[in-house]
Amino acid sequence: MTEDAGSRWDLGPARVLRVAAALIVVQLLVRTWVAANSDFYWDDLILAGRGGSLPLLSGDLLLYDHDGHLMPGAFVVAGIATRIAPYQWILPMLTMVVLQAVASYAVFRLLRKILGPRPVLLVPLALYLFSPLTVPAFAWWAAALNALPLQIALAWVAGDALELCRTGRRRYAVSGTLVLIVSLLFFEKSVVVPFAAFATVALLAHVGERERPVRSTLRRGAALWIPSAAVLAVWAGFYFSTVASQWEWAGASRALELLHHGTSLGLLPTFVGGPWTWERWIPSPPWASPSTSLEVVGWVVLVAAVVATVRPKRRIGWVWVLTAGYFLLSVTAMVVTRWGADTTYELAQTLRYFTDTAVILAIAVAVIARAPRRRAEPVRLRPLVAAGAVVAFVASSLWSTYTFTRSWEENPTTDYLATARASLADRDDAPILQQPTSIWVLLPVAYPNNLVSRVFAPLRDRPAFSDSTPDLRMIDDAGSVVDAQVTWVRAIEPGTVPDCGHLVDRRSFEPIPLDGPLTGWEWTAQLNYLATADGEIAVAMEDGSPVRVPVHRGPNSVFVRLTGGGQSLRVSTLTPDLSVCIGVGPVGVVVPK
């Protein structure tokens, strides 16, 4: 696309702005539909559980190392939404749509500063607004709280940097710095924002044939670059003192394979509105699954776009190089921070690790459109052909958005949360033994945030969660509270005290043998006891930490969740003058009756 080609379109500035506004409105309507068909998923439960149960301004919440992320802003937003309406989707949905509206406006604002209100502006704007590249990160609340603030900052700070270098007005330096700070509160990848802004201004100076564009950009934008560097330095101190390093090099062959999956199967099909089809293994998110022909088309479109712009345009080589470099940087970050023994290559096809590339691509197209031609003759491009290509891209993208949403809405968490909310409210008479949530909702790798006490902490109408209970119940995979029992993996051996079994009447631990050893794990012991009074005892595995357990006068049973292993239990009294007789009972895992 060229400047002259854009000027040949029969659209005046006012009409261009109206069309741009209409495109944004259509995008927001589509994204509202996507959000309405989404629901809480995986990390959303961690954000809601922690944000809804910890003080909003506590270090435990703000400085929590969330799988390598430092994202206090996201936890505060989740905490506020959860406090107002625990596990009600309407507030997360609204935050996603509002953030998307701000991001779309920020991109439009930047493109207008680069291109002015000309028809060519609609091309990069449509590319950003409708690209399937941004859909997976938008549909997932936790990912949207990372991705959308970054997209906003990439566009807004670049626009402020451009105005600062053009006008010298310091207010753009102030607003650009503030937006950078806010974006860093949501996603550590926002460290790239000042560099992307600098590259945008320098590339525009370069294609505009300004002498020494890098030096000029440094000098003119110093009021923004210097405070941005200070912000990054302070933030880096907090980040590296808070977040444990999880970097792991996958090896050259695996890294190249991930690059292939992220490029041929991920990014490139989105150039034509793909991938059209998605695959999914619940509880994993959907990943792009384009056909081989669409992979080929993606590469052809990329090569054709480079050739079609490099031949008629001058000084745009660096635009393509830096755009490719940004994408490769995103892939590298994914490889070193997300690779592990159980990582699959489909991870790169989920698209969310480089969704911000959509903003960079829009900037690149706009800069190329601004670049001068190599020859004075106008490039003849029929307006209907250009408009048809944009319409075809939007239609293709909308189909990919539709197929993604149909796959994404297959979410077992939705029914699980609804059932659990009602079931917990109906059975709040006794504590529920601590347990993990269903593996279809949160896998054990999320421990301890997958425990029901963490996930359901924000609910107001529910029983307490405890490491011991006199009434054994559990939350099944459907979210229902059901009566439960302990399997006889091991049994407490009969005691030697007549009419008692094992007598526990001392503060020191009394060993109670099992009929066989248990490996280190999470076990539940059913203690059938006779107590002389109400009080407390301490119970532990032979190798494990003790749990405080309330007991009641007379014959009773209590179920205790223990961590550890060994060939015996250890029991002691914590209440003076309390004696407890313990009989035979199972030690195993909890299952529904």
Q: pLDDT band at 3, cuts 50/70/90?
A: very low
Model confidence pTM above 0.85: yes
Instruction: For 433-458, give the secondary structure using H, E and C.
Output: ECCECCCCCCCHHHCCCCEHHHHCCC
Burial track 74-94 (b if 16+ CB lie within 10 A, e otherwise): bbbbbbebbeeebbebebbbe
Q: What is the identity of the amino acid at 411? A: N
Which pLDDT value is given to residue 380?
55
pLDDT at 379 over 60: no
Which pLDDT value is given to residue 566?
95
> Residue 127, Cα to own-chain centre: how many angstroms?
23
The share of the chain scoring above pLDDT 90, in percent, equals: 81
326 vs 249, residue with greater confidence: 326
Which pLDDT value is given to residue 187?
95
Mean pLDDT, the chain, rounded, equals 92
Report the first-to-last Cα separation within the chain, whole angstroms: 68
**Which domains occur in the chain, in start order?**
3-39+89-408 (no CATH), 490-592 (2.60.120.260)
pLDDT at 6 over 50: no
pLDDT at 395 over 70: yes
501 vs 312, residue with greater confidence: 501
Calculate mean pLDDT across residues 230-245.
91
Give the Cα separation of 462 and 336 in Å (integer): 41
Give the Cα separation of 570 and 563 in Å (integer): 12
Give the Cα separation of 163 and 169 in Å (integer): 8
pLDDT at 548 over 70: yes
pLDDT at 4 over 70: no
Give the Cα separation of 518 and 425 in Å (integer): 35
Which pLDDT value is given to residue 506?
86
| Lowest-confidence pick of 360-364, 427-431, 452-456, 504-508 | 427-431
SS3 label, residue 377: coil
Give the Cα separation of 99 and 110 in Å (integer): 17
Tokens of 494: 């009969």
Q: Which residues contact 424 (CB under 8 A, 6 or more apart)?
A: 432, 456, 459, 461, 462, 463, 475, 481
What digits encode the pLDDT tens for the residues 161-184?
A: 999 999 999 999 999 999 999 999
Which pLDDT value is given to residue 376?
59
What digits encode the pLDDT tens for the residues 383-392?
A: 777 788 899 9
**Interior CA angle at 298 toward 408 and 277, to 5°?**
25
258 vs 203, residue with greater confidence: 203
pLDDT at 5 over 70: no
Which pLDDT value is given to residue 250?
65
Q: pLDDT band at 8, cuts 50/70/90?
A: very low
What digits encode the pLDDT tens for the residues 252-264?
A: 788 888 899 999 9
Q: Where are the alpha helices (DSSP H) in 460-565?
A: none
Give the Cα separation of 125 and 472 in Å (integer): 58
407 vs 378, residue with greater confidence: 407
What digits encode the pLDDT tens for the residues 402-424?
A: 999 999 999 999 999 999 999 99
Calculate mean pLDDT across residues 106-116.
97
